[in-house]
């Protein structure tokens, strides 16, 4: 009787430790990614009245993601993953007041509507969709180590750089710039107008940058990845925990961004 119970328990452990399908949510930091900052403000207008400078970040991008997997297939398993990672950086416009050569700094914040970021410093955002085929290394109960790889679809945002900011200069903005450029220091009315236009120009440029940032599309590219992972699930209980290390191959990024190509996924999910 005891032998039968032991065999039944073993069979239950072997057959119920892994799910047919599962879905999960995970923490997904990216390691090694660097964004190079500008060493000094660079002009975005021909006369240098308006300048831009952005900083960078170094080390780790924060992130989160979602995963779905299928374990029922013979020999191999399939995973589909979406990761969203982001790194914050500072950016400012500098407007020169020709009346006294003073410089007015206008820090840039981007209004991101209903996203989790709200109104905040500019962010470089990288989204990656992965389709992976994995192969279990062993058939141990409860834990399932595996290796694999697959295709990756990359989407990433632009950087608030000199070229982007220069592209949003329009007629109204240029008119303000002309008032500053043509200021007559001997004419009090001209000096007063230049002071007012200097303040207006900083605010107008900030609003234009924010609007253009929201309208700008994402850069897309295709690459690949390899992964090493582990999934764990107790018998009967429909909860699984998982961890993956991924190394990405390929993908296009802005020139200011040096991708680290490494991501860790640590999460839990519903497994049935």
Residue ranges of domains in the chain: 16-271
Q: Give 46: exposed, middle or buried? Use CB within 10 Å, 0-12, 13-18, 19+.
A: exposed
The structure's pTM equals: 0.78
Query: pLDDT above 90 covers what percent of the chain?
Result: 40
DSSP 83: E
d(CA 54, CA 93) in angstroms, rounded, equals 9
Rounded to a whole number of angstroms, the CA Rg of the chain reads 27
As its CATH architecture, domain 16-271 has: Beta Barrel (2.40)
* CA-to-CA dists, residue 89 to 5, 125, 175, 257, angstroms: 61, 11, 30, 12
Query: pLDDT above 70 covers what percent of the chain?
Result: 88
pLDDT digits (tens, 9 = 90+) for 32-41: 999 999 999 9
pLDDT digits (tens, 9 = 90+) for 160-212: 888 888 888 777 777 777 777 677 777 888 778 777 777 777 678 778 877 77
DSSP string of 88-137? E--EEEEEEETTTTEEEEEE--EE-TTSTT-EES-EEEEEEEEEEEEEES
């Amino acid at each position: 009787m005891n032998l039968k119970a032991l065999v039944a328990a073993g069979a239950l452990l072997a057959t119920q430790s892994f799910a047919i399908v599962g879905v999960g949510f995970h923490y997904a930091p990216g390691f090694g990614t660097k964004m190079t900052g500008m060493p000094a403000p660079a002009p975005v207008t021909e006369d240098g009245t308006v300048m831009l400078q952005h900083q960078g970040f170094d080390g780790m991008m924060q992130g989160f993601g979602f995963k779905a997997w299928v374990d029922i297939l013979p020999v191999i398993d399939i995973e589909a993953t979406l990761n969203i990672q982001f790194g914050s950086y500072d950016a400012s416009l500098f407007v020169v007041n020709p009346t006294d050569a003073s410089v007015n700094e206008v820090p840039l914040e981007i209004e991101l509507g209903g996203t989790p970021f709200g109104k905040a410093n500019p962010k470089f955002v990288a989204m990656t969709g992965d389709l992976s085929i994995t192969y279990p290394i062993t058939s141990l109960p409860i834990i399932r180590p595996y290796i694999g790889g697959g295709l990756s679809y990359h989407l990433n945002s632009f950087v608030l750089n000199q070229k982007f900011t220069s592209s949003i200069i329009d007629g109204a903005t240029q008119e303000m710039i002309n008032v500053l450029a043509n200021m007559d220091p001997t004419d009090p009315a001209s000096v007063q107008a230049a002071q007012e236009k200097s303040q207006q120009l900083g605010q107008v440029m900030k609003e234009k940058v924010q609007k253009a940032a929201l309208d700008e599309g994402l850069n897309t590219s295709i690459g690949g990845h390899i992964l090493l992972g582990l999934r764990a699930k107790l018998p009967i209980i429909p909860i699984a925990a998982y961890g993956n290390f991924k190394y990405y191959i390929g993908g296009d990024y802005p020139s200011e961004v040096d991708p680290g190509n490494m991501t860790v996924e640590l999460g839990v999910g519903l497994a049935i």
